[in-house]
Amino acid sequence: MNEPTPPSAALRIRVAVDAPQHSGISGPLDYLSEQALPPGSLVRVPLGRRELMGIVWPGESDQDSDLAALRPILGSLDGIPPLSPAWCSLLEFAASYYQRSIGELALSVLPPQLRELDAAQLKMRLKKLDKWAAEQAKAATADASSAPVKPELSPAQAEVLGQLDALLGRAEAPPPLLLYGVTGSGKTEVYLRAAEHALSQGKQVLVLVPEINLTPQLEARFAERFVGRAIVSLHSGLTPAQRLRHWLAAHAGQAELVLGTRLAVFASMPRLGLIVVDEEHDPSYKQQDGARYSARDLAVYRAHQLKIPVILGSATPSLESWQRANEGRYKRLALPERIGGGAMPRVRLFDMKTLPLTKGVTTALTMPLLEALRKRLERGEQSLIFLNRRGYAPVLHCAECNWKSDCPHCSAWRVFHKGDRTLRCHHCGFTQRVPSECPTCGNQDIAPLGRGTERLEEQLQEQLPGARVLRIDADSTKLKGELEAQLQAVHSGEVDIVVGTQMITKGHDFRRITLVAAVNPDGALFSSDFRAPERLFALLMQAGGRAGRDAEQAARSEMWVQTWHPEHALYKALALHDFEAFAKSQLAERESAGLPPFAHLALLRAEGRTAEAAKGFLEAASRWARSLPEADQVLVYPSIPMSVARVANVERMQMLVEASSRGALQRLLWHWLPELHALKREHKGLLRWAVDVDPLAI
C-alpha cells in the first residue's frame, strides 16, 4: 500500500477500531496524527488492508512502542463534535462487563451511515439540524396560546414526585428509582412531570421502551405535552438516514427528548439529565446476540456515572430490581391504585380438570369461555385472547405410523401454517408445502396436534359466527404498516375479538376490552428456565392490564385463565393481583437455590458440527477455568445441550458459570475468555462460542 511517511512531528494517538473480539484486538490501537485530536473524535484509520472508522479513545497510549512502526490516520471527521469522555467511559464499562472489544461495541452502536459520509457531508447534515431545531422552537412560540392541559396530580403521584424532588435536592447522586404501579396507575404522567423538570433546567431526557411498536404511542404523548420541544426516536425500525439524523440531533444537543428501544441507551447526549426505563422488567431490554448487554442495567450505570436520576417503571418489576429495592439500594416509589379508581379485572382461574373428558374434543375454547365471549359480543365490548404459539398447529401427526412433522435440520417440529398450507420450522426457517399424505406410510389422514393462534382464530369464527375476529402475531404483521393498521382497527372498534401472541399483551392502550383470556399458559410452570414463572406472571398481569382501563368498564372486566393447576401459587397470587406475594415467594426460592439475584451467572455457549465437538470444547474450557485463581469462588456446571439442541444442522451446547459475587465472576471471565480463542483452534469441529453475562434465558 502506498502510504505517506509520517512527518517527524506526528503525535501518537489511541484509536478504538471496529475489530471483532476474536481478532484478539480488545483495546484501542496506536496511530499517528499530525494534529492533536480530542478524545471522542471520529477518524478514519487503516487496519491491515482495510480502511475503518475509529474513535480517538481517552487514556494514555503506549509510549514505549516504536513510533516509526505506527501508521498515520487517514483523516478526521472534524465537522462533528467529539463524543464525550462520559460516553467513552460508558462504552468502556459495557465492553468490559459484557466481554467485548471496545471498538467493536463502540462502533456498532453508532449509526451505520456515519461511516459512509465525509466531513463535508456531515457538516451539511448538522446545518440542516440547526434549522430543524429552530423551526421547532418557532412553532412552539406560535403555539404558545394552546398550552398543553396537564391533569392535576393524584395524591399518590404528588407524593412520588415530591420524593423525587427531595432526592434531587440532595448533594449526593440519587439512587435508582423503582416506580412500581399497575397499568393505568399513572406512571407515564410521572415520567412526563420528571421530564418537564429536567427539560426546564436545560437538560436532555432519554426514555426507553421495550418494543418499537410502543414508540409511536409514547412519542405522541410526549409530543402533545412538550409542544415545541425537539423530540426524536431511536430504534432499529428507522431508515439509515433517519437514524443518522436522529442520532446527530441527540449528539449535537438539539434533540431534547430521545425515545427509543434498547440501543438508544448508547445515544450520545451531552446534557443528559434524566433516564426513564418503562416496563423495566421486559426481556427485550437484553440484547440476544453479539454484545449481549442489558439496556436496563446500562441505564442504571449511566445514571450513576452522571449522578442523574433514573426511573425504572413497572407493574411487575424484575426480581433483580425488586430485590435491590428490598435491600435499599434502589428507592421504591409506589402508585398503588389505578387513576380514576378503576379496579383491576377480576381474575377467574378456570380449572380444566372440571371439564368432562371427551376424546377428540378440543378444549381451548371451553363452554364457559365461549359464554363469556358471547356476553361481550352482545354488549358490544371487545375481548382479547392470548396464546403464545403462532401457526395453526405446532405439529402434524400420522396416527397410523406415528410420523410427526419434524425438521430435518433441527431438533424441533415444523409448525403447520394453514393459511399458506406450509410446514415451517420456526428455528431455521425450512419451509415445505404440507404433504397430502403421510410421507412414511402414505396414510391420507394426517392431523394437526395442538393449537396455535391460526387455529384458535378459525375455531372462534366457527363457534361465534358473525363475530369480527382479528389475529395479531408475527405472521399477520410481517409487512411494514400491518401492525399499525391492525391496532388501529382494534382501537376504532372494527374488531370484536383479538387473538394473538404476547405481541398484543404489551402496552397497547385498548379502551374497550373487558375480557382478557389466556387459554393455555401452563407450560411456563414447569419450564427448566428458572425465570419462566417470573415472565409468565408479568405477562399475565400485563395482559390483564389491557382490560377495563375505564372505571365503569373495570367493574365488569375479567381476566380468564384456563389452567390444569389452579391451585398453583403463581395463579393464586395473580388472582389477588398480588405481585408482592409472588415476588416474595419467588425470591425465597431463588435464595435457597442460590439463583439470581442472589448469585451471578454467565453462560458459555458453543456451537459445533457435532455435539461432541461443542461438548469437548466446553469441557476443556471448564478444566481451564478450574485452574484459574478465582476457581474457588465460582461454580462451573457440566455442559448441557440447549433446549433446542440442533438448529440448521448446528449442535448447540451451553455451560453455566455461577458466582456469589459479581466481582469474582468478572475476574474469572477476564482471565478465562482470552484463552478460549486459542482453545477454539484446537477443537476442529467447533464453529463458534460466545459468552452471555447475566443471561436471561437459560
Task: Give me the residues that bind ligand ADP (CB under 6 A), please.
Answer: 151-154, 157, 181, 183-189, 339
Cβ contacts of 352 within 8 Å, gap of 6 or more:
363, 366, 562, 563, 564
Q: Which does 317 bind (CB under 5 to 8 A by kind): ligand ADP, Zn ion, none?
A: none
Please count the CA atoms within 13 angstroms of the CA of 385 that sit on its side-chain side.
30
Q: Applying CB under 5 A, does 441 fall inside the site for Zn ion? A: yes
- Going through 338-393 in order, the beta strands assigned E by DSSP cover 346-351, 382-386
> Residue 301 Cβ, how far from ligand ADP at the closest point, in Å?
25
Nearer to ligand ADP, 339 or 398 (CB): 339
Which residue blocks in 439-531 are alpha helix, DSSP H?
453-463, 482-491
222, 276 in Cβ contact below 8 A? no
Q: Applying CB under 5 A, does 403 fall inside the site for Zn ion? A: yes
Q: Applying CB under 5 A, does 398 fall inside the site for Zn ion? A: yes
Nearer to Zn ion, 348 or 409 (CB): 409
> Residue 155 Cβ, how far from ligand ADP at the closest point, in Å?
9
Q: Applying CB under 5 A, does 431 fall inside the site for Zn ion? A: no
Nearer to Zn ion, 288 or 649 (CB): 649
Nearer to ligand ADP, 10 or 551 (CB): 551
Q: Applying CB under 5 A, does 415 fall inside the site for Zn ion? A: no
276, 207 in Cβ contact below 8 A? yes
Which residue blocks in 272-366 are alpha helix, DSSP H?
295-306, 319-326
Cβ contacts of 342 within 8 Å, gap of 6 or more:
184, 548, 549, 550, 551, 553, 554
Q: Which does 142 bind (CB under 5 to 8 A by kind): Zn ion, ligand ADP, none?
A: none
Stretch that binds Zn ion, among 114-122, 409-417, 461-469, 637-645 (CB under 5 A): 409-417
Stretch that binds Zn ion, among 262-270, 443-451, 531-539, 574-582 (CB under 5 A): 443-451
> Residue 644 Cβ, how far from Zn ion at the closest point, in Å?
9
**Distances from the Cα of 373 to the Cαs of 205, 337, 461, 487, in angstroms?**
43, 28, 12, 20
Nearer to ligand ADP, 189 or 630 (CB): 189
Q: Which does 438 bind (CB under 5 to 8 A by kind): Zn ion, ligand ADP, none?
A: Zn ion
**Interatomic CA distance for residues 507 and 510, integer angstroms:** 9
Q: Applying CB under 5 A, does 409 fall inside the site for Zn ion? A: yes
Stretch that binds Zn ion, among 56-64, 387-395, 403-411, 557-565 (CB under 5 A): 403-411
Q: Applying CB under 5 A, does 395 fall inside the site for Zn ion? A: no
Cβ contacts of 236 within 8 Å, gap of 6 or more:
212, 261, 263
Burial class (CB in 10 A: 0-12, 13-18, 19+), 253: middle
**Interatomic CA distance for residues 17 and 48, integer angstroms:** 12
**Interatomic CA distance for residues 53 and 74, integer angstroms:** 10
Q: Which does 185 bind (CB under 5 to 8 A by kind): Zn ion, ligand ADP, none?
A: ligand ADP
Stretch that binds Zn ion, among 7-15, 128-136, 185-193, 418-426 (CB under 5 A): 418-426
CA proximity to 255, closest of 133, 82, 134 = 133
Q: Strands 513-518, 558-563: parallel, antiparallel or unpaired by DSSP?
A: parallel
Cell of 475: 405472521
Nearer to Zn ion, 139 or 441 (CB): 441
Among 166, 401, 485, 555, which residue interacts with Zn ion (rule: CB under 5 A)? 401
**Interatomic CA distance for residues 341 and 344, integer angstroms:** 9
Cell of 255: 434533540
DSSP reduced 3-state for 78: coil
> Residue 333 Cβ, how far from ligand ADP at the closest point, in Å?
12
> Residue 380 Cβ, how far from ligand ADP at the closest point, in Å?
21
Nearer to ligand ADP, 20 or 151 (CB): 151
Q: Which does 232 bind (CB under 5 to 8 A by kind): ligand ADP, Zn ion, none?
A: none
Cell of 488: 388501529
545, 182 in Cβ contact below 8 A? yes
> Residue 322 Cβ, how far from ligand ADP at the closest point, in Å?
17
Residues lying near Zn ion in the complex (CB under 5 A) are found at: 398, 400-401, 403, 407, 409-410, 425, 427-428, 430, 438, 440-441, 443
